Amino acid sequence: MEKINNEIDWQKEDLKYIWHPCSQMKDYESLPPIVIERAKGINLYDTDGKCYKDVVSSWWCNLLGHCNEKISARLKEQADKLEHVIFANFSHKTIIELCIRLSKLMPKGLVKFNFADNGSSSIEMAMKMSFQYFQQVGKPNKTRFMALTDAYHGETIGALSVGACDLYSKIYKPILMDVIRIQAPDCYRCPFNKNRDNCDCECFIDAQKQFEKYGNQTAAILVEPLLQGSAGMKIYPALYLKKLRKLCDEYNVHIIADEIATGYYRTGEMFAFNHAGVSPDLMCLSKGLTGGYMPMSVVVTTDEIYNAFYDDYLKYKAFMHSHTYAGNPLGASCALGVLDILEEGSIQKHLKEVTLYFNNLIKENFLNLSFDGKLSAAGAGEVRSIGLINAIELVYNKNTKQSFDYKTRLGYQIYKKALKKGVLLRPLGDVIYFNPPLIIEKQDMDFVVKVARDCTIEAMKELN
């Protein structure tokens, strides 16, 4: 191993071996990987002891702070008792307790739990379940899926097919499924010139049109409820989900709720669907499920769907889908740790105290940004928020809502500057966003928002 002053050069060793996810590895020539040694709360510490505030919850999964004492204690206890066991024909108390407790929190009707080990796999499972359900209840023509424009549901081939972010999926189009695409709400650039707080979801008309054409052939529609995260934290009204529930009932189409990023109070409620007061037919959970400790996901569904698979073995109706680590006890123990904390109620109280503060702070710091010269019309086109998630869409022209040329990589410039100042932001294009662990305190909010503002101003000035 390469040594500097007898110390191992971890960055160099990393780059010798590791191909990092979702990265152009050439970028690492100027910005090598930051090697994190330990973490606590919202703080990550690198090998030199430098602190980074993790306001993206390490890819939106860390729910209650890093190295949370209660979750860690659960995990350690479980590791000494049972680390893993095959989940076909075998079970264990930890996962049974998890389902008992989680079932009390689920939207009405979601009662059966089928586990996998990452978000994308749960999406694939939900799609297969929906498809097979219709095959087994005498509707073999229902073979297709619908999804929204700009959707993101993961990276495996099925999940990528229902997703619609070109950056991730374009090159794979020849090997992806043909999905029926519905125009997603776009509240910032609303084609009906309405406002998300008081509109009637006029944009739902496209869903109606597509259902009229394809509803009979469709098994399920996938949605990221209320928040299209990877699309740039695009937020839309709960009314859209209510209308969707009605339309799906009319055409006998399942709703697959992708609550992988929105579940567990990220939108202020346990699930984003709760805002709409209706239930999906299948719900995918991951990320916050284990507090971001262990890879685990679950599809939760109804008795009606479950029963369509329940028969004598030789009828071959079983759901023959498995992942080696399904039902992993270590993940389940962390998930119980998360529920221990949520059931105490202090997190919900904390959210009530800080949510508006955070949103106002961001508005105060970003809505008044102004620049000279060729950027005289540039700035924060919109600050949008749901729960503790806040996003600032930077635009080249606030009047026309024109985006920056993507070649400027403005978001990436801001990202690099913020890292130097000890904040881990990870803008989505030119959308800067905060999606911190729910335990974030006001003084950290003050710090990270100031850094984000300073870095935005610096990066924008460099464009001028």
Ligand X SMILES: Cc1ncc(COP(=O)(O)O)c(C=O)c1O
Interface residues toward ligand X, by CB under 6 A = 118-120, 123, 152-154, 224, 229, 258, 260-261, 286
CB of 285 to ligand X, least distance (A): 10
Closer of 297 and 403 to ligand X (Cβ)? 297
Instruction: Please give the C-alpha separations between residue 83 and each of 79, 92, 441, in angstroms, as whole numbers.
Output: 5, 11, 34
CB of 269 to ligand X, least distance (A): 16
Closer of 107 and 154 to ligand X (Cβ)? 154
Closer of 118 and 136 to ligand X (Cβ)? 118
Dist CA 379 CA 434 (whole Å):
18
Using an 8 Å Cβ cutoff, are 136 and 170 in contact?
no
Closer of 288 and 379 to ligand X (Cβ)? 288
Dist CA 399 CA 409 (whole Å):
21
CB of 396 to ligand X, least distance (A): 27
**What residue is closest to ligand X based on CB?**
119
CB of 375 to ligand X, least distance (A): 32
Neighbouring CB atoms inside 10 A of 140's CB total 9
Dist CA 347 CA 334 (whole Å):
17
Closer of 294 and 380 to ligand X (Cβ)? 294
The closest of 300, 270, 293, 265 to 122, measured between CA atoms, is: 300
Bridge partners, residue 187, by sequence:
none
CB of 59 to ligand X, least distance (A): 6
Q: What DSSP string describes 299-353?
A: EEE-HHHHHTT-S-GGG--S-----TTTT-HHHHHHHHHHHHHHHH-HHHHHHHH
Task: At 297, give phi and psi (nearest 5°).
Answer: -145, 165
CB of 452 to ligand X, least distance (A): 21
CB of 180 to ligand X, least distance (A): 19
Environment class of 70 (CB within 10 Å of its CB; exposed 0-12, middle 13-18, buried 19+): middle
The closest of 126, 374, 383, 144 to 259, measured between CA atoms, is: 126
